[in-house]
């Protein structure tokens, strides 16, 4: 750690060395950091799955909300979640950083440490990238590549009317955590479990892979834009609709405790808050028991929250059977 | 064109539609824009070559220097140049954009038009990406993937003492063009050829591919950081040095005309100005005639500028045989 050293004393190649030091490099003849491009050899018969996410300071993250290490973890987690949602195995990633002049080296080191932790936890290899200055804030771009047999890959487009709609884990904690952070809460308080769902989301890689390899599902997506928006993507690309039972949404005790104290229960946090990084998937009802069993082996709770319908819309149904009208559906950037 | 429409009226998914409309999509079963990740199937026996470049407003580009269309062209060109330098075939690319609030739609459309032009010229398919807001300037991140047979791929590490050092095209125009732009020159003047080398560089994809497939070379790199820095990378990774003959550097008449009017000939523009996006490669002297012939069929001039040596340094030699001491070696971001 060099608490008061600025990036300018390190230089571009010094920064690349800092990055290289934290990540195991691919085994020859694959090329990692240090040539014009990375060389990657997918196994015969596999398909390369690629995703990219851009995180911009002041838009996706606020460095005041928590340690840079967690931002590093999250930068890869959001990409891992995309790979999980396809049922693929994460393999390589590429990191691009635009860093403001005078940025603290300690922050960058913390960021890289967290990124390296997350990479090691998922056996995902840093294979290249780019670094440059920024006149605005810190900008992080990660491109991830995974692999899977073409016939096992899960897309958004396979849902069928009658399918059960499932979600992993719980919904709304991340959006509530962001709300609390914006209201001034910081780590080290009773709300830590909620804040950490926002600052350090856990991608459901193991569950996504197991579900895909078991061949039990018709469609899958990760919930980054909010349940209704992302389930909407499945419906749109599958040419169907869905009914979501409000009373079935999996909510943590911490979420319920906070929300039941509000004048109006803030359902939009769970329905459209986003950044849950849970998996939403559809499957024939006949696979219900097998899915429950498989999720148990992965150690992740999964819950049926509704069903796929013939309509072209996503409806949220109240316990009395009437339609709930959510006030917003997903985060929009512009 | 919607000259006065702001991005906020378009929305995130509207922007994705704008992007989708400009780029041909991969043929099924490959997935392009619109799922969590792209699916790409390299041919059997080929290796995937991946590169990524981040371009930040105020650092890599100034939107006042030229039309956004040229920025779009350049954003892909710098990535294509990396693929060219490996001797690979460009196949797919991923685009991430962080866009400031209130940014003009016309600028984004121009950018996308230029990007689509460059993609079409190189049969490179847009396969995914990410868009978001930015609190700083416009940030563009492109990740490109190419393919080549593993035994044909050219790395930085293969140079051998005695090799001739070659460069394609000419050096220094781009750095001089940037200098003129920073001094206020704009397109539509006598200096257009120089300005365009900076604003609209031409990646040497055809030449790089032909050279690799002919098996004539030992090592190759593209000149993005400047000749001395990039030739230095070849030497470092090959465990050798190089002598560059100052009198042999290929310079355009426009470059020579400008530079010979200066009090001191600005050699650093050609030696270390950077952004030439020419290829620098080394090859056994016995392949000289075959390389010249092949470059002729690609329609690109190539020039021997020196040789690989046993030393571990890059020396620049003046016509009188003495060492030239350049004042800078490459661009540094921090």
| A125 and A242, same domain (yes or no) | no
Instruction: Provide the domain count of chain B.
Output: 2
- Give average pLDDT by consecutive 10-residue segment, chain B, 334 residues: 54 71 66 72 82 90 94 96 95 90 87 94 89 88 92 93 98 97 95 96 97 97 95 95 97 96 93 96 98 97 98 92 70 50
Residues 65-84 of A with CB under 8 A from B: 82-83
Answer yes or no: is A71 within a domain. yes
According to the model, what pLDDT value does residue B65 have?
A: 95
Q: How high is the pLDDT of residue A3?
A: 41
Would you tell me how many other CB atoms lie within 10 Å of the CB of residue A188?
8
First to last CA, chain B: 38
Residues 165-184 in A contacting B (C-alpha not used; CB under 8 Å) = none
CA distances from A317 to A150, A242, A247, B27 (A): 36, 10, 8, 38
Among A294, A99, A323, smallest CA distance to A213 is for A294
Same domain, B199 and B311: yes
* Structure token pair of residue B103: 């940014």
In this structure, are strands A47-56 and B164-168 parallel, antiparallel, or unpaired? unpaired
Confidence at residue A1, expressed as pLDDT on a 0 to 100 scale: 38
Question: Which residue in chain A is spatially nearest to B9 when comparing CA positions?
Answer: A334
Name the helix (H) or strand (E) containing A288.
Answer: helix A288-298
Q: Nearest-CA residue of chain B relative to A131?
A: B54
What pLDDT shows up at residue A44? 77
User: What is the structure's pLDDT at A14?
Assistant: 72
pLDDT mean values, one per 10 residues, chain A (334 residues): 54 71 67 72 82 90 94 96 95 90 87 94 89 88 92 93 98 97 95 96 97 97 95 95 97 96 93 96 98 97 98 92 70 50
A7-22 vs A105-121: helix crossing angle, rounded to 10: 10
Distances (CA, A) of B44 to A46, A322, B27, B122, B148: 10, 54, 18, 22, 10
* A:B CB pairs within 8 Å: 235
CATH of the domain at B176: 3.90.650.10
The verdict on B181 and B241 lying in the same domain is yes
The DSSP letter of residue B330 is S
Could you give phi then psi for residue A291, rounded to 5 degrees? -65, -45
pLDDT at B1 (0 to 100):
38
pTM of the model: 0.89
Q: What is the structure's pLDDT at B32?
A: 64
For B283, the 3-state DSSP assignment is strand
Determine contact: B97 vs chain A, CB below 8 A.
yes
pLDDT at res. B19: 74
Q: Is residue B329 part of a domain?
A: no
State how far residue A101 is from chain B, nearest Cα, in angstroms. Answer: 6
Phi-psi region of B39 (alpha: psi -120 to 50; beta: other; left: phi over 0): beta
Q: What is the pLDDT of residue B133?
A: 85
Would you call B53 and A96 a contact, using CB atoms and an 8 Å cutoff?
A: yes
Question: What distances in angstroms separate CA A302 from CA A77, A214, A249, A281, one per listed residue?
Answer: 20, 15, 11, 10
> ipTM of the predicted structure?
0.86
Cα separation of B204 and B208, whole Å? 6
Verify that A118 and A62 share a domain, yes or no. yes
**Exposed / middle / buried, residue B9 (Cβ in 10 Å: 0-12, 13-18, 19+):** exposed
The answer to whether residue B27 is domain-embedded is yes
* Partner residue facing B334 (CB), from A10, A34, A137: A10
Q: Which two tokens stand for residue B150?
A: 């593993």
Which of B89, B108, B273 has its CA nearest to residue B181? B273
Question: Does residue A197 form part of some domain?
Answer: yes
Q: Which domain holds residue A89?
A: 11-152
Give the model's pLDDT for residue B249.
97
Separation in Å, CA A56 to CA A79, B16, B130: 15, 18, 12
| Residue A1 domain-assigned (yes or no) | no
Q: Is residue A91 part of a domain?
A: yes
Element containing residue B128 per DSSP (H, E): strand B125-134
Sheet harboring A125-134: ordered strands across? A125-134, A89-100, A139-148, A47-56, B38-40
* Nearest to A206, CA basis, from A300, A115, A293: A300
CATH number, domain of B42, equals: 3.30.1330.10
């Amino acid at each position: 750690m060099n608490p008061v050293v600025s990036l300018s004393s390190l230089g571009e190649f010094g920064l690349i060395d800092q990055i290289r030091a934290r990540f195991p490099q691919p085994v020859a003849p694959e090329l990692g950091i240090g040539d014009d491009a990375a060389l990657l050899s997918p196994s015969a018969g596999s398909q390369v799955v690629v995703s990219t996410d851009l995180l911009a300071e002041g838009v996706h993250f606020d460095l005041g909300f928590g340690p840079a290490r967690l931002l590093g973890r999250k930068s890869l987690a959001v990409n891992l979640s995309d790979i999980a949602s396809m049922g693929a195995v994460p393999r390589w990633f590429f990191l691009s950083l635009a860093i403001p002049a005078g940025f603290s080296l300690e922050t960058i080191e913390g960021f890289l440490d967290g990124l390296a932790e997350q990479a090691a936890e998922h056996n995902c290899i840093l294979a290249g990238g780019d670094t440059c200055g920024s006149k605005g804030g810190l900008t992080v771009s990660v491109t991830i590549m995974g692999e899977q047999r073409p016939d096992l890959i899960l897309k958004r487009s396979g849902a069928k009317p009658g399918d059960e709609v499932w979600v992993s884990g719980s919904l709304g904690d991340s959006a509530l955590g962001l709300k609390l952070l914006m209201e001034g809460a910081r780590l080290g308080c009773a709300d830590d479990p909620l804040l950490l769902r926002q600052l350090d989301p856990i991608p459901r890689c193991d569950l996504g892979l197991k579900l895909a390899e078991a061949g039990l599902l018709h469609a899958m997506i990760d919930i980054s834009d909010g349940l209704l928006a992302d389930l909407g993507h499945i419906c749109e690309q599958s040419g169907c609709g869905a009914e979501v039972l409000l009373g079935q949404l999996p909510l943590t005790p911490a979420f319920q405790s906070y929300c039941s104290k509000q004048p109006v229960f803030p359902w939009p946090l769970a329905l459209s808050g986003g950044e849950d990084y849970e998996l939403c998937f559809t499957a024939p009802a006949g696979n219900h028991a097998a899915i429950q069993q498989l999720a148990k082996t992965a150690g992740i709770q999964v819950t049926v929250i509704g069903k796929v319908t013939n309509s072209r819309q996503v409806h949220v149904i109240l316990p009395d059977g009437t339609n709930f009208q959510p006030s917003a559906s997903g985060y929009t950037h512009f």
